[in-house]
Amino acid sequence: MAGDDNLQSMIVGTVMRKIKSRTWKKQRYFRLQEDCMTIWYKECHVSSLVGNNTSSAPFSVSDVEAVREGHQSEVLLSIADEFPPDRCFTLVFRGRRGNLDLVADSADEAQSWIKGMRKLIENLENMGDSEKLDQWIGDWFKKADKNNDGRMNFQEVRVLLKMMNVEMNEHHAHRLFMMADKSQTGSLEDDEFVLFYKMLTQREDVLRVFQEYSGDGQKLSLSDLEEFLREEQLEDVDVVQQLAMELIERYEPSDTAKTLKAMSIDGFLIYLMSPVGSVFRPRQQNLYQDMNQPLCHYFISSSHNTYLMEDQLRGPSSVEGYIRALKRGCRCVEVDCWDGTNGEPIVYHGHTFTSKILFKDVVSTLGKYAFKVSEYPVILSMENHCSVEQQRVMAHHLNTILGDKLLKSTLDRKIPISFPSPEELKGKILLKGKKIGGLEDSLSGLMEPEDTLTGEVSDEDEAAEIDEDNLHSNSLRRRAKVGSQWTYMDWSPVRAVQMFTSSLYQFHFLSLPQKSKQRLSKELSDCVVYCKSVHFSSFKHSRMHSKFYEISSFTESKARKLLREAGAEFVLHNARQLTRVYPSGLRTDSSNFNPQEMWNTGTQIVALNFQTAGLEMDLNDGLFSQNGGCGYVLKPEYMRRLDKRFDPEVPQNRDGYQPLSFCIQVISAQQLPKVNIKESSVVDPFVRVEIHGVPLDQAKQETRYIDNNGFNPVWYDTLRFTIHAPELALVRFVVEDYDKASRNDFVGQYTLPFSCIQQGYRHIHLLSRDGTSIHPASLFVHLRVTKLV
């Protein structure tokens, strides 16, 4: 980084305006720390640069995903008449953290930060694992060096151990300190601290495996490594020799060992910590599935009310919701359209206090970001409440802004008999909505003139949905009340507030006057090709009368009812047509339902509130982490067949049924983050393994908890599961901080498809609640899958 003028300018510091809205613009002093990893800012007076020291707010460069230049956020667009684009930029954070919109005093200052930040981000992305570890060690050194003298005394070491989640008796800590203090000065310098860290992090668990396969206890010869890869990692026998050579070449740090065609303990650990040694099979992280099947044969990553950033009642609407969803690989986004002022349609959650954005801004955002992460088709699910006049404006925006990206006709302009494939639809945006007549009518030109302005414009009646969900909820409450007399007062305060809010929401919607059927404009109707929204009558009616391009949307409670009554019929229906399931209208807090039960029916479009972190989004991220993160996952073969039936309630009745035994030995964890802000607090971790799949596979088991050790806890606990439908199963590894007096605290998790697991000794690199990396936190496990007789 030396000699870079932009970074030097950032280290000196800059006064910039932090912008939150057109009326909220505050001066802040921003400065890059000497470590080139941390940015610090505080309130200041422009004249003196003297801060009031009440709002210091450092953040890591690693938290920043991208830098947008100019007026590329709604906030900066709102002040475009006040500040030119060459002085404006946006820092986009990972996960669900809000963006930081900034205005520099000059274009040159803005460029220094834009170019400097991009260089820092690029440098981080190009770091190897060992460099990241060195950076991590350096960060701990700086945190522990309280007096900033570049050395660390024993008192600072004791503080460091608490910070690193280690509870260690003082005698042992002092012994390690003295062993690392080679200069015998009573303090540790850089190299001595690295030695101390290595002693602290010595992996006895990995050494044990290493020595089991090492002929001389000092190294793994080529044949030793081949045996380990063959017997433990279950690598293909035909390629194991070549693989062993590649691993030595790639991960062995010692040139001497490389010359001997051997691997040291250091190289062995580096291999086990690498992507090749992780729990997720690397080949399946890339695009590996057949993408030439009909569209209805894939699970599709889908978002509900994509424009909302928070709750469903009062939260802000923003195009940022679309950007974030699309960058996560989402391939079906939703837009709720209403008549706006000046003839421009708006997007918001109707009849609520959510803010409003312009439909044309949503379309522009879609055009810009739809194919940055995945080139496979995007479905725009439209809930249309607009007048005919503003529908025509919508159609105009779709056509002029999206251009050739908008699919306006069948691919060959002939009447089709089945869906095209994701491969054939690459780079296309498909509109899902009501359509006048059928696809055949519009292609053959047989549509009657009077048909051009008739019919319903939206397939989602929110009031009816609320009423249906309310009846279902009341039914559940009546059943729960049997044998006990409880009231709303028995709920927790949070739950009571949620139910009260939902009740107000229901009352509001049900008190609205019933709207007569609106008319649909031909221009908007013509934009719908393969995704015509229709009302659902029954599976029998669909089987006899429905066209393949007709799609129905169900609220979660309606979908569960169909699953209970006719699970096998539901699966068969989804082998022919697309289905969309979305959250109940009672989920005013933007919570989510469990998507797994809908995937068990073969439902392709399971729409979730992407803005809400938790188990449900972990499962969604886990399922779509495979196949290159393209947003499409091919359904199991038995869910795509029309000549066979699969019932998720009885998976053992299908052809080729073969149950599997899944055995997990949870060995250890490394460098778990602190979850309690108290400096004296140390994590008491335990691991829970959850299986999500068909009802017969739903299960979870836990290890013991380890007292006061989040740094290197060791379990060697074994958990066993039986898997009946492995193609549908997801495995979720969760680490929590045990608390006997209150609810356990979340530490980290990792979710992946069962079919993507690599067997043997593997590391699981944990993610935060937001799904972002918490490097170097990990689990070390041994995994084995065997057939049950």
Which residues, including other chains, have CB under 8 Å from residue 468's CB and lie 6 or more apart? Answer: 555, 557, 558
Q: Which of 95-104, 171-180, 406-415, 423-432 has the highest mean pLDDT?
A: 423-432
- Condensed to tens digits (0 to 9), the pLDDT of residues 106-142 reads 999 999 999 999 999 998 888 776 677 677 777 777 7
State the average pLDDT over residues 207-218. Answer: 95
Q: Is 304 a catalytic residue?
A: yes
Residue 650 identity (one-letter amino acid): V
First to last CA, the chain: 60
**Cα(32)–Cα(60) distance, integer angstroms:** 10
216 is known to lie in a ligand binding site: no
Structure tokens at 374: 């995945």
**Cα(301)–Cα(239) distance, integer angstroms:** 35
Structure tokens at 107: 């274009």
Of the residues 349, 472, 692, 763, only one is catalytic, namely 349
Listing DSSP states for 604-661 in one string gives: SEEEE-TTS-SHHHHHHHHHTTSGGG-SEEEPPGGGT-SSS---TT-GGGSTT---EE
pLDDT reading at 497 higher than 70: no
432 is known to lie in a ligand binding site: yes
Which residues, including other chains, have CB under 8 Å from residue 732's CB and lie 6 or more apart? Answer: 615, 618, 619, 622, 689, 690, 692, 749, 750, 751
State the average pLDDT over residues 516-525. Answer: 85
Instruction: With CA atoms as reference, report the closest residue to 352 among 317, 381, 302.
Output: 317
Structure tokens at 788: 């049950």
pLDDT of residue 166: 67
- Condensed to tens digits (0 to 9), the pLDDT of residues 231-254 reads 999 999 999 999 999 999 999 989
pLDDT reading at 487 higher than 70: no
- Condensed to tens digits (0 to 9), the pLDDT of residues 360-379 reads 999 999 999 999 999 999 99
Q: Which of 10-24, 161-175, 388-402 has the lowest mean pLDDT?
A: 161-175
pLDDT reading at 71 higher than 90: yes
404 is known to lie in a ligand binding site: no
249 is known to lie in a ligand binding site: no
H or E segment to which residue 153 belongs: strand 152-153
Describe the crossing of helices 240-251 and 222-231 by its angle, rounded to 10 degrees: 120
State the average pLDDT over residues 329-350. Answer: 96
Instruction: With CA atoms as reference, report the closest residue to 667 among 764, 756, 744, 747.
Output: 764
Of the residues 71, 172, 174, 304, only one is catalytic, namely 304
Q: Would you report the helix, strand and coil content of the chain in percent, each value rounded to 5? A: 40, 25, 40
Query: From the centroid of its chain, how far is CA 664?
Result: 25
At residue 55 the predicted structure's pLDDT band, cuts being 50, 70 and 90, is very low
pLDDT of residue 495: 52
334 is known to lie in a ligand binding site: yes
336 is known to lie in a ligand binding site: yes
Instruction: With CA atoms as reference, report the closest residue to 763 among 780, 750, 747, 749.
Output: 780
**Cα(121)–Cα(60) distance, integer angstroms:** 11
At residue 51 the predicted structure's pLDDT band, cuts being 50, 70 and 90, is very low
96 or 429: which leads in pLDDT: 429
**Cα(366)–Cα(323) distance, integer angstroms:** 8
Residue position matching structure tokens 């409003």:
356
At residue 47 the predicted structure's pLDDT band, cuts being 50, 70 and 90, is very low
pLDDT of residue 45: 56
User: 439 near 416, Cβ under 8 Å?
Assistant: yes
pLDDT reading at 53 higher than 80: no
**Cα(331)–Cα(299) distance, integer angstroms:** 10
User: 318 near 595, Cβ under 8 Å?
Assistant: no
Please state whether beta strands 773-787 and 760-767 pair in parallel, antiparallel, or not at all (unpaired).
antiparallel
Residue 366 identity (one-letter amino acid): L
User: 602 near 610, Cβ under 8 Å?
Assistant: no
Listing DSSP states for 701-765 in one string gives: EE----TTBSSS-EEEEEEEEEES-GGG-EEEEEEEE--SSSPPEEEEEEEEEGGGBPPEEEEEE
At residue 678 the predicted structure's pLDDT band, cuts being 50, 70 and 90, is low
266 is known to lie in a ligand binding site: no
737 is known to lie in a ligand binding site: yes
At residue 778 the predicted structure's pLDDT band, cuts being 50, 70 and 90, is very high
**Cα(122)–Cα(577) distance, integer angstroms:** 43
pLDDT reading at 484 higher than 50: no
CB-based burial, 138-147: b 16+ in 10 Å, e otherwise: eebbeebbee
Three-state SS string over 91-119 comes to: EEECCCCCCEEEEECCHHHHHHHHHHHHH
Length, in residues, of the chain: 789
pLDDT of residue 660: 98
Measured from the Cβ of residue 515, the count of other Cβ atoms closer than 10 Å reads: 11
Structure tokens at 719: 């958990």
305 is known to lie in a ligand binding site: yes
pLDDT reading at 162 higher than 70: yes
467 is known to lie in a ligand binding site: no
631 or 448: which leads in pLDDT: 631
Which residues, including other chains, have CB under 8 Å from residue 137's CB and lie 6 or more apart? Answer: 193, 194, 197
Q: Is 692 a catalytic residue?
A: no
Q: What average pLDDT does the structure give for the chain?
A: 88
490 is known to lie in a ligand binding site: no
Q: Which of 473-482, 499-508, 600-609 has the highest mean pLDDT?
A: 600-609
Query: From the centroid of its chain, how far is CA 463?
Result: 31
